[in-house]
């Protein structure tokens, strides 16, 4: 087999030899300039095609689910070509909110009551113009869960709503308490470990449209919450399938990764400030139970969780909370088909913590790992304004689950 390893020393030597012996003009002459451009372009193209653009790795605990994905979701077998000028993980992560378009979506908001007296905000896209499913009683419903501080207005959520609209499905976005502009009625927000609000939302969706099939997609912390929910419920859920994007599987590893100097500067401090801003908005109701001044002095997500989240949800220590919030411990109990997309270069969910072995032990799980893509990035194309690789995975899997779901009833 011919080795595809790329040796930059050899390339540099050959280019230098070419420039010295073949181009007989001055250093700043047009011949040398053109040669440098062509040489660099050729080198970059070679490196990109050999080391960057690769087929994803598909792992499943059972042959039936694996074969289903290969047949119904061709994207899992295709080479992923990240945008050639921004394939590095941090750049993908930082640029996606700015370069991807935000499709126009008009939601119908609904506030439902929670058991503790709080309220949960749901944003519905009813898709009443659906030609594929004109009957609202049986129109498939896709439940979407945003990330840590995300809402229904995030670009990645809007893209999934658009993909669902094209398929003729209805969407509902579960906004975590206090993040989408609604009033916080009780001194309680949300966390990745607690799935009580999610359970209430899923039961409400099922009661509202009893004859409609339901699937779900979660992004980042939303995916963690979904995975924890499935691990707790087993077969006692109406969800026909779940797809999870850029989830953090081991919270200890995720926070440790985000506390490295560069990632702390780029991501950790910003997310901490977003969490604190949400707490500040609801200070009148929260300060009755928590030391908000102490919370507002947190410099990292870990410090925020130590001073606020773990206390709110009654954990003895923050380590107890992080262990309970880590979906890796519940994967063995998942009884619903769940596809998980992670990038190996995601600094939020480091590759060594991606639960490959746990997935291999459960026939209901499949893991799709790309070499690049960052955290909720997965940009592709020359100018990635529209669809991303993540969007294509979502659309194909959603369609497969809704239209071919009978083939997924017994994956063992």
Active site residues: 220, 346, 375
Q: Quote the strand ranges of 295-400, DSSP E.
A: 338-343, 365-370
CA-closest candidate to residue 59, choices 346, 339, 353: 339
User: 3-state DSSP: the chain helix, strand, coil percent, rounded to 5?
Assistant: 45, 15, 40
Tokens standing for residue 259: 């506390």
Q: How far apart are CA 152 and CA 156, in angstroms?
A: 9
CA end-to-end span of the chain: 37
CA-closest candidate to residue 247, choices 360, 173, 147: 147
| 100, 173 contact by CB (below 8 A) | no
Tokens standing for residue 320: 């107890």
| 54, 380 contact by CB (below 8 A) | no
**Alpha-carbon distances of 96 from 3, 378, 385, rounded to whole Å:** 34, 8, 9
| Continuous H helices in 209-247 | 221-233
Query: Distance from CA of residue 134 to its chain's centroid?
Result: 30
| 402, 246 contact by CB (below 8 A) | no
Q: How far apart are CA 371 and CA 5, in angstroms?
A: 16
R_g (Cα) of the chain, nearest Å: 23
Q: What's the angle, vertex CA 333, arms to CA 248 and CA 75, rounded to 5?
A: 55
């Amino acid at each position: 087999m011919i080795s595809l390893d790329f040796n930059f020393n050899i390339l540099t030597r050959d280019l230098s030899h070419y420039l010295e012996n073949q181009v007989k003009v001055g250093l700043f002459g047009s011949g040398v300039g053109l040669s440098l451009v062509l040489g660099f372009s050729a080198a970059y193209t070679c490196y990109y095609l050999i080391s960057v653009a690769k087929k994803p790795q598909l792992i499943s605990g059972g042959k039936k689910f694996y074969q289903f994905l290969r047949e119904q979701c061709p994207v899992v077998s295709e080479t992923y070509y990240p945008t050639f000028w921004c394939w590095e993980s941090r750049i993908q992560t930082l640029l996606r909110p700015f370069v991807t378009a935000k499709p126009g979506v008009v939601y119908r908001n609904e506030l439902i009551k929670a058991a503790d007296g709080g309220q949960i905000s749901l944003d519905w896209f009813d898709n009443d113009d659906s030609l594929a499913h004109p009957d609202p009683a049986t129109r498939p419903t896709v439940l979407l869960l945003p990330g840590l501080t995300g809402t229904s207005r995030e670009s990645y959520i809007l893209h999934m709503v658009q993909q669902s609209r094209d398929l003729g499905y209805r969407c509902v976005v579960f906004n975590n308490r206090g993040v989408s502009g609604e009033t916080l009625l009780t001194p309680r927000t949300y966390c990745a470990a607690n799935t009580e609000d999610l359970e209430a939302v899923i039961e409400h969706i099922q009661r509202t449209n009893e004859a409609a099939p339901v699937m779900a997609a979660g992004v980042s912390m939303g995916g963690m919450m979904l995975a924890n929910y499935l691990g707790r419920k087993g077969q006692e859920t109406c969800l026909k399938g779940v797809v999870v994007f850029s989830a953090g599987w081991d919270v200890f590893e995720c926070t440790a990764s985000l506390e490295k100097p560069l990632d702390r500067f780029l991501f950790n401090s910003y997310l901490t400030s977003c969490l604190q801003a949400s707490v500040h908005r609801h200070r009148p109701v929260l300060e009755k139970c928590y030391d908000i001044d102490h919370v507002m002095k947190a410099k990292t997500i870990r410090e925020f969780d130590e001073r606020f989240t773990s206390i709110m949800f009654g954990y003895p220590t923050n380590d107890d909370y992080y262990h309970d919030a880590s979906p890796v411990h519940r994967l063995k109990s998942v009884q619903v088909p769940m596809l998980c997309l992670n990038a190996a270069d995601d600094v939020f969910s480091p590759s060594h913590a991606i639960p490959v072995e746990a997935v291999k032990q459960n026939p209901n799980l499949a893991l799709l790992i790309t070499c690049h893509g960052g955290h909720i990035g997965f940009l592709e194309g020359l100018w990635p304004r529209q669809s991303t690789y993540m969007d294509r995975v979502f659309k194909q899997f959603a369609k497969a689950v809704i239209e071919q779901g009978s083939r997924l009833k017994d994956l063992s």
